[in-house]
A and B are shown apart, each in its own frame.
Chain A
Amino acid sequence: MSVRDHQGLTLNKFNGLWNIEDPDSAPSDHFTECSNISFLGQSSSFKTRLGIDISQTTLVPLSNIRRIYNYATQTANTLIILTYDDISGFGSIYHVVSPTIVYGPLLTITGMTDFAFVPYAGRGYISPFSDYANGDLTFQKGLANEFVYVYDGLGNPARKAAGNSLSGVMTVANGAAGHTDSGFHIFGFVSQTVSGYNAPPSILTSFTSAAGSSVSFGSIPTSGDPSVVKRLLVATKVLPTFNGDLTGYQFFFVPNAVINNNTATSLNDISFYDSELLADASHLLNNYTSIPAGASLSSYHNRLCVAATATDISLILVSQPGEPEAINQISGLIVVPLDGNPITNAQEMRDVFYVFKRSKTVAYSDNGGEPSSWPLIPIDSALGTFVHGIATVLDSGSASIDFLIVATYQGISSFNGRYATPELSWKVSNYWTKLDRNMFGNVQIMNAPIQKLILIALPNRQLLIGDYRNGMDWKNMRWSPWNFSMGINTIGIVNIDEIILGADVF
């Protein structure tokens, strides 16, 4: 064919990177290489990616950033940030409120190279974790001998979630004229922290009350925990027989019998009838007083869920509803079928609790009973995700409600109870599968619906950007890798659509 006969080909569509195994299959409206490109609206135009600017204007900005989480407090959208000093080995968590205000370090732990975070009622729950090697595999689980921490959102240091019960002895005696069901009772006190956690009943003391008298308590121990703000009286109903085991009976909160401080040592003239003892406190006896750290924190039905602890990588600890620090050591446990792989993530969607391992997905559904009784529903035996592999939306710090965007070994998939195929990242599947699988613990996804972008921090310290302004399906997604002069390894969003990037020394 001569040049004269050549028909020109007009290129008027550019739909991003095409990187599947056969490069010759790339359509003419795609690129075989495509770095640092932003697409302009729904048109086919493109330009150089946006530049980045510093986000902190303080004299000493944070450095060596390992992880960013969005933290929606009751008054602002802020960031929780982990820095890691690779020389000393200390990981430190900060609360970045604005470009000029930083609280912290809230928590500093040796070897904390990553952490899980979930906001709850304005507070933040923090679980330190790190990488562990198992043969050739690298996975994540909670730091050994470490715990879940709670942060009040106000700049105070994070403290261990839950807490110890009171210790010591108290005196019990008949008080002024009043009323009780006469007979043998066991009394005790429950300490309550500022975050609402009720410790197991303690300083249990038996006493035989008289019908015409109230009951008074003296020498009540105070707690050494400065977060304790209340102490609540608990009691059994009249026990016709007593076998000597003070903890072997059902305890109830006594109405209006509360010490609203951690200083008073007496509570006098408490009257009650057994029929008024309705609020059960017995379950507190089996609660964790400190919650082991895990690699995953999530919430489901107003419960806090901790998974992949240092000692059991397939265990989920589930709290009582509305009491995120109250986790029963017997009935609050879910054991995901063991397969040698740790639980990596968990997410509530459409009233179902989805639990992920790196290559498996299962679900549990709250049946109204204790978590240990929830039925297991297998979802997918090949696909799962990673510790930061579920996209969070806007600055909420949580996932989409109606569907999830999930990073799997096959690519970026939408998940609505099943993984949609082909996956959203089908056009860059070759690029994705060449990433180092042992470093997928670094993959973090953010969905920015205002810009209609999916941003993925990759193990190679690069970003993969998916533009879905033409549609969120495998055909219409437009992909472009972005790279930077420093190692980007985490992302976040504040103020609805301000995309934040974190870089470490690499």
Chain B
Amino acid sequence: MGTFNIIKPSSIGTVVGGRGNGAGTIPGWESNGVGSTDANLCDGLILGLDQYLALANTGISNSSIEFGMDQSTNIFELDGSPAISFNNLPSGFTITSGILTINLNSNFAGTFTCGYGFNPSFQQINDFTGNQGFVSYEIVLSTNISALQFLLNKISIAAALDTTFAVPPGTILGLLSLLNYSFTGTYEIQAVVISPISIENTSPARVGDKIIINSTLPILLGATQIQLTYPGHEIILDLLTPSLTIDGVIYYWLNFVFIQTDFQIQFYLPFGFGRFAGLVTVTLIGNGTQFSGSVLAGVLNVLYADASGIYSLTEGQTNDTLYFRDGYTTDIKFLFLNSENEIYDDNYFSMKQERLRMLAMNDFEYEDYEDYEDNFFTITGALRIPVTTIETEIPSPFVMTAFLP
């Protein structure tokens, strides 16, 4: 058994109430005296009274901030050693106990709440009313959890002003400060069970991608279900009565798993994930003969891509061509302005017909405009979802004949 210390959160989740400027002159969350970037806020949580995370001077009720942890940032200190990331934790790392401590400092006159939760629920740990001064608060994890479970559930820390606490914006309220964060506990390295079953896919997968599960032992014909789980949701592919069940609703789908042999199962990642992107646990359920119970096959990193849209069936086409939207981008265009516009003052852009919000100031000084008199230009930025296409194979063309004598 050893001790671990999660030195700080690595990401900022939802921030309600805005972000300050670090100087306490703009209402919102900030790391006092530093700033309000994600990194500033994470750092502010672990600092002391001289430099703390604060909700400053805001009249916005129900303000809150949420922190999360990821798998790639070096935040795990084991037995006092330099911090490593979750991905570099030793096999079998299991948290056996943990204490999360936060100090609160407030001079609010109203009610506020501090708590933690497994995202997205928020478990209130206490209510405070009036000026509390300095309060130390501890949260004890009551059950053993694996580090993976800990991260998948995105444990978060939050502080919120009560909804009843509404005052005119801009009113000087003072500070609600979170500081001296610490999260320590014990861990052990549990015996690692070598499973014969594993997922072959190593790259992130999208809905419609082929997923291959291999086994080093001839047992996969004994699988009766494939369960795909992610926080709050479960998708089940039933192999005995071919069907697809999404969060308890059965979607009858013949032959969804199209290859099932002793050593391999192949299936297409079904729809049903909505807009989810993240880690999905894949579990096989045995029939009690080749293997019993549920066996973890692995974890899939599922990416979201919006393939919705209008399609046409096309004669002679031997694959499916799908719309592919997997994120946002900002197009940058040079907008050349005609040379008839003389520049008389710094308010040049207000003279243009283009809407102001579409015009981004570039770095030119006033004198520069004269230098570029014949080629005035500025830059427009337009947010859009890029739509490309992706070629996919037609899912499982498959027939099975009747029983033949």
Q: Which residues of A contact B (CB under 8 A)?
A: 9, 11, 14, 17-19, 24, 26-28, 30-37, 46, 48-56, 59-65, 68, 79, 81, 86, 96, 431, 434-436, 459-462, 481, 483-487, 498-506
Starting from the known contacts A51-B394, A61-B387, A487-B308, 6 additional A-B residue pairs (CB-CB under 8 Å) come to A30-B402, A33-B399, A48-B318, A55-B312, A56-B309, A60-B387
**Is A485 in contact with B400, judged by CB distance below 8 angstroms?**
no
CB-CB under 8 A from B243, the residues of chain A are 434
- Cross-interface CB contact of B312 among A36, A52, A61, A506, cutoff 8 Å: A52
Is the C-beta of B322 less than 8 angstroms from some C-beta in chain A?
A: yes
- Please state if A431 and B397 are interface contacts (CB–CB under 8 Å): no
Residues of A close to B208: CB separation below 8 A: 484-486
Q: Which residues of B contact A30 (CB under 8 A)?
A: 402
Using a CB–CB cutoff of 8 Å, the interface residues on chain B facing chain A are 207-208, 242-244, 249-255, 268, 271-272, 274-275, 306-323, 325, 384-385, 387, 389, 392, 394-405
Distance to closest chain B CB from A204 (angstroms): 49
Q: List 21 A-B contacts (CB under 8 A).
A: A28-B401, A31-B399, A33-B255, A35-B395, A51-B314, A51-B319, A52-B313, A53-B312, A54-B312, A56-B310, A60-B385, A60-B387, A61-B387, A431-B254, A483-B395, A485-B207, A486-B207, A486-B322, A487-B308, A501-B313, A503-B307
Q: Chain A nearest CB: distance from B206 CB in Å?
A: 8
Question: Given the complex of chains A and B, what is the CA–CA distance between A54 and B314 in angstroms?
Answer: 9
A54 and B308 contact, CB distance less than 8 A? no
Asked if residues A28 and B404 are in contact (CB atoms below 8 Å), the reply is yes
Name the residue in A19, A53, A68, A431 with the highest tally of chain B Cβ atoms < 10 Å from its Cβ.
A53
Measured CB to CB, the nearest residue on chain B to A460 is B251
Given the contacts A62-B309, A505-B308, A36 and B249 also touching, CB distance less than 8 Å: no
Q: Is the CB of A48 within 8 A of B308?
A: no
Partner of A501, one of B306, B311, B398: B311
Whether B389 contacts A36 by the Cβ 8 Å rule is: no
Instruction: Give A38 to B35 CA distance when docked, in angstroms.
Output: 63
Most A CB contacts (10 A, CB to CB) among B250, B319, B397 go to: B397
A32-B253 in contact given A50-B314, A65-B308, A65-B310 (Cβ < 8 Å): no
The closest CB in chain B to the CB of A455 belongs to B313
Q: How far is the CA of A210 from the CA of B266 in the complex (A)?
A: 93
Q: How far is the CA of A485 from the CA of B309 in the complex (A)?
A: 12
Q: Give complex CA distance A434, B243 in Å.
A: 10
Given A31-B401, A54-B323, A506-B272, check contact A49 B394 (CB 8 Å).
yes
Q: Would you give the shortest CB distance from B92 to chain A, in whole angstroms?
A: 37
How far apart are A265's CB and chain B's nearest CB, in angstroms? Answer: 38
Q: A485-B322, A486-B208 are in contact. Are A18 and B312 (CB under 8 A)?
A: no
Q: Which residue of B lies closest to A25 (CB)?
A: B402
Residues of A within 8 A of B313 (CB): 50-52, 498-499, 501
Closest B residue by C-beta to A435: B252
Query: A436-B249, A436-B250, A503-B307 given as contacts; is B271 within 8 A of A486 (CB)?
Result: yes
Q: Do the beta carbons of A54 and B322 come within 8 Å of each other?
A: yes
Task: For B390, give the chain A residue with the smallest CB separation.
Answer: A485
- By Cβ-Cβ distance, the 3 closest A-B pairs, closest first, are A485-B208, A51-B317, A26-B402
Return chain B residues, CB-CB under 8 Å to A459: 251
B243 closest partner in A (C-beta) = A434
A18 to B402, CA, bound (A): 9
Known: A48-B318, A63-B325, A460-B244. Is A36-B311 also a contact (CB below 8 A)?
no
Are B401 and A53 within 8 A (Cβ)?
no
Interface centre among B318, B401, B403, B404 (most CB of A within 10 A): B401
Residue numbers in B under 8 Å from A81 (CB-CB): 310
Q: Which residues of A contact B254 (CB under 8 A)?
A: 17, 19, 33-35, 431, 481
Chain B residue nearest in CB terms to A7 = B405
Contact A484 B402 (CB under 8 A): no
Residues A460 and B402 in contact, CB atoms below 8 Å apart: no
B271 to chain A, nearest CB (A): 5
Q: Which residues from chain B contact A505 at a C-beta distance below 8 Å?
A: 274-275, 306, 308
Q: Which residue on chain B has the smallest CB distance to residue A433?
A: B252
Cβ–Cβ contact A35 & B311, under 8 A: no
Q: Are B401 and A436 in contact (CB under 8 A)?
A: no
Closest A residue, CB atoms, query B403: A24
A328 to chain B, nearest CB (A): 39
CB distance from B228 to the nearest CB of A (A): 15
B317 & A53 in contact (Cβ 8 Å cutoff): yes
> Quick check: A11 and B268 within 8 Å, CB to CB?
no
Bound complex: CA of A35 vs CA of B257, how far in Å?
11
The docked-state distance in angstroms from the alpha carbon of A30 to that of B309 is: 34
Query: Which residues of chain B come closer than 8 Å to A28, judged between CB atoms?
Result: 401-402, 404
- Which residues from B are CB-within-8-Å of A487? 271, 308
**Complex contacts, B321 vs chain A, CB 8 Å:** 51-54
Asked whether B312 lies within 8 Å of A500 as measured between CB atoms, the reply is yes
Contact A68-B310, Cβ < 8 Å, known A48-B397, A52-B321, A63-B325: yes
Which residues of B are found within 8 Å of A35, using beta-carbon distances? 254-255, 395-399
**Partner of A484 from B242, B255, B320, B398 at Cβ < 8 Å:** B320
**CB nearest to B321 among chain A residues:** A53
Q: Are B253 and A462 in contact (CB under 8 A)?
A: yes
Contact A9 B252 (CB under 8 A): no
Asked whether A51 and B253 contact (CB < 8 A) given A61-B309, A501-B311, A505-B274, the answer is no
Taking the closest CB of chain B, its distance from the CB of A21, in whole angstroms, is 13
Contacts of B384 in A (CB 8 A): 59-60
From A94, which residue of chain B is reached at the shortest CB distance? B310
Residues of A within 8 A of B392 (CB): 485
Contact between chains at A32 and B400 (CB < 8 Å): yes
- Are B312 and A498 interface neighbours, CB within 8 A? yes
B311 close to A55 (CB less than 8 A): yes
* Nearest B-chain residue to A18, judged by Cβ: B402
Q: CB distance B400 to A436 under 8 Å?
A: no
Interfacial chain A residues near B316, Cβ < 8 Å: 50
* Residue from B249, B316, B323, B394 whose CB has the most chain A CB atoms within 10 Å: B394
Specify which chain A residues have a CB less than 8 angstroms from the CB of B389 in the assembled complex.
54
Report the separation of the CA atoms of residues A26 and B251 in the bound assembly, to the nearest whole angstrom. Answer: 23
| Contact (Cβ within 8 A) B312 A461 | no
> Are B317 and A52 touching (Cβ within 8 A)?
yes
User: Chain A residue with minimal CB distance to B325?
Assistant: A63
| B315 neighbours in A (Cβ, 8 Å) | 50
Q: Kindly identify which residue among A26, A49, A68, A485 contacts B271, using a CB–CB cutoff of 8 Å.
A: A485
Q: Nearest-CB distance from A499 to chain B (Å)?
A: 4
Q: Tell me, rounded to whole Å, the shortest Cβ–Cβ distance linking B239 to chain A.
A: 12
A505–B398 alpha-carbon span in the complex (Å): 26
Cross-chain contact of B404 among A9, A14, A19, A506 (Cβ < 8 A): A9
